[in-house]
Amino acid sequence: MLLLVSSPSGAGKTSLSRRLVADHSDLTLSISATTRAPRPGEEEGREYFFKTRPEFEAMIERGEFLEWAIVNGHYYGTPKAPVMAALEGGHDVLFDIDWQGARQIAEKAPDDSVRVFILPPSWADLVRRLKARAQDSEEIMHARLKLGREEITHWAEYDYVIVNKSFDRAYADLGHIYRAERMKPGRNPWLPGFVEGLGQEQV
């Protein structure tokens, strides 16, 4: 399963996604590459793979991305190889990406993709959370808010929408979505053999 999670910046998507991955050993987080500068506390290979523009463009040329997009004037992209390796190892993959990336991946793999959009409970709440994060200059924060308005216009393209009023509630909802999608018959190729075995059991 490809679990695609999008939201405007500050709606809690990253915390929700990282917690879901931490709580499910069969779910792997896709680490994106970006040309934006690391924020304080961010580490190479943990939040992102930080690249220069020439490095990123060379990766595009070599076809190394599953999808890529320009967000806020910076390149962001999903490296293909780790995703394929995780899927081949029987893992599901969670993507914390914007609507452009979610759309590209869902078009490539419609049956395997599940799209979840996280909304803030109010615009004021989003502004407050971005301010509390205090990682960005006033100018960058305004750019993020503008981009957030654009991101929100795509909410109806998603399979599920969660309003993040409380972290615990939103996290429980995300977990329910993941578990329910995991139980779809097509996602469990072992089921036919299992059911056949049930029919042959002697009682």
Long-range residue pairs from 169-173, CB within 8 A, at least 24 positions apart, any chain:
170/12, 170/16, 170/118, 171/16, 171/19, 171/20
Token pair for 67 = 């999808």
User: Minimum distance between the CB of residue 184 and ligand 5GP, rounded to whole angstroms?
Assistant: 25
Between 15 and 100, whose beta carbon lies closer to ligand 5GP? 100
Judged on CB neighbours under 10 Å (0-12, 13-18, 19+), 64 is middle
Helix (H, G, I), strand (E, B) or coil at 4: strand
Closest to 28 (Cα-Cα) out of 86, 77, 81, 101: 86
Tokens 């059991």 sit on residue: 201
Between 34 and 177, whose beta carbon lies closer to ligand 5GP? 34
Question: Are residues 105 and 112 in contact, defined by beta-carbon separation less than 8 angstroms?
Answer: no
Token pair for 196 = 């056949």
User: Minimum distance between the CB of residue 185 and ligand 5GP, rounded to whole angstroms?
Assistant: 30
User: Minimum distance between the CB of residue 71 and ligand 5GP, rounded to whole angstroms?
Assistant: 4
Between 12 and 77, whose beta carbon lies closer to ligand 5GP? 77
Between 84 and 191, whose beta carbon lies closer to ligand 5GP? 84
Residue 156: DSSP 8-state: G
User: Minimum distance between the CB of residue 5 and ligand 5GP, rounded to whole angstroms?
Assistant: 8
Between 49 and 187, whose beta carbon lies closer to ligand 5GP? 49
The site for ligand 5GP (CB under 6 A) is made up of 9, 32, 36, 67, 69, 71, 76-78, 96-98, 100-101
User: Minimum distance between the CB of residue 195 and ligand 5GP, rounded to whole angstroms?
Assistant: 38
Question: Are residues 28 and 91 in contact, defined by beta-carbon separation less than 8 angstroms?
Answer: yes
